[in-house]
Amino acid sequence: MSLGPAARRRVALYGGAAVFAALALWAIPAFLSRLVPGVAVRRMDIEADAAMETEAVKLLREYVRIDTTNPPGLTRPAIEFLARILRCEGIPVTVTGADPERPILVARLKGRTSEGALALHNHADVVPAGDPATWKKPPFAAERGDGGERDHLYGRGTLDMKAQTIANVLALASLVRAGIVPLRDIVFVVESGEESYEESLGMEWLLDHRPDLLAGVTDVFNEGGVNEVKTQRVERFGIEVMQKAILSVDVLSKEQKPLEDFGAFLKSEEEKEPIRVVPAVREFLRFIAPSRSDVWGRRMMGDAEKLGPGTEFWQYVPEVYRSLLKDSIYMGTIKKDAEGFSVRVVRTLLPGSPVAAARAQLDGWVRDRKLGLRVVIATPDCVPSPAEGRAYQAVADVFSLDAEGAPVGPYILSGQYTSSEGIRARGLRAYGVSPFAVSIYDALTIHHENERISLPFFVDGIERMRRVLLEFATAP
């Protein structure tokens, strides 16, 4: 049966429309996908395979395999390892210190002037690994994870802070290899007693006994930077400018009840501490609160003094914010030992609250109750570093131009301690700078079992630190 002219026209018309519709259904999504930015998904396993062949990863694995557990903190093999790398690059090295088995390394890359020099501060010691049976990989083998964790390198010190030390070494070497003479000297320092808070093994010893090795240094890059990460992207680059001072003691008693009563007293005293928004904290809140859509930070930026203890608002404020706004007192769990009972008491103090005064007050409280006291750690007073100067600006400029496109600003540690506290107390500007993206899950392994670093993020950080040092070396 043949179709007439009218029927053929209808078939041609509607058939063509059907073909056009089919083509549209196929083409429109493809066209729209070009208008909407895609979500970049990195193949971390493939990147990790490539990372294993890089100079940076090979050096990191060799460094992690040197057991520098503190105690005993015998770091000389690690210091000699780093000294060899630097000398091979033609950078003069001095190994000094009060303890030959736990020495301090100082290397200086000369620039056009020693004034305004930058110190890259590192520590070689690591905390004990604990029971190796709890680790997925041996703590000093520097091996990759299995299965979905093959993009990670496991090992004690991978995050704290051997990876950052390798990044600093290679950033310094990159200037030498490129034939760049920095505008200002750059000093590379590795201490041996950071994890046990021994000033005699670090920068403080150098300032007291070998100030010639730090001549002209005004700024220091240390660990302590916080880069907040979501999935595979950096959401915020944080440059640490302040940490609260810490007074940590063990209070001792022959019986448990006096310590329980003392705990109730401390709680009442803590509630009396006034709210204080110091300038550095206000700037930190201005940095983090808007990008987090954070009700706590936003409220506290304005009129925090009226939001303290006794108000309905205060009872809902997370501790991480409370600790930024007042001097704090924390009490741990009462423990029994052969000599009686003890409890750890920690005071964290804002600028303007001297550690000595807090110690004297605590001594009085303990003495009145006929309790004993043993000091665990007493840091120098809290001193913020200003978010300014050539060194700070070099980090801020490089991070702000990073491909991640994340905001950059000052960050504060409210309960953690690094050696920056002592450095700032000596009049130097110290900044916690991390070139790495570290997820919260990886960060939780620091000082715990299964410490690990993402190999792709490590390689990213090597390049990021190279750019930071290049910027400092060449920018007027």
Q: So where are the chain's domains? A: 44-243+382-474, 245-378
CATH number for the domain whose boundaries are 245-378: 3.30.70
Asked whether the CA dihedral 223, 225, 230, 235 is positive or negative, the reply is negative
What is the pLDDT at residue 212?
Answer: 98
| Angle between helix 455-474 and 390-400 (nearest 10) | 130
Asked whether the CA dihedral 237, 117, 64, 135 is positive or negative, the reply is negative
Q: Does domain 44-243+382-474 have CATH number 3.40.630.10?
A: yes
Per the listing, tokens 């006994």 go with 209
What is the full per-residue pLDDT of the chain (476 aa) written as tens digits? 444 544 444 434 344 444 444 444 445 545 544 555 555 679 999 999 999 999 999 999 999 999 999 999 999 999 999 999 999 999 999 999 999 999 999 999 999 999 999 999 999 999 999 999 999 999 999 999 999 999 999 999 999 999 999 999 999 999 999 999 999 999 999 999 999 989 999 999 999 999 999 999 999 999 999 999 988 899 999 999 999 999 999 999 999 999 999 999 999 999 899 888 899 998 998 898 776 666 767 777 666 667 777 777 777 778 878 899 899 999 999 999 988 999 999 999 999 999 999 999 999 999 999 999 999 999 999 999 999 999 999 999 999 999 999 999 999 998 778 999 999 999 999 999 999 999 999 999 999 999 999 999 999 999 999 999 999 999 99
What is the pLDDT at residue 313?
Answer: 77
What is the pLDDT at residue 292?
Answer: 63
DSSP three-state, residue 273: coil
What is the pLDDT at residue 183?
Answer: 98
* Cα–Cα dist 129/138, whole Å: 9
| Angle between helix 76-88 and 55-64 (nearest 10) | 160
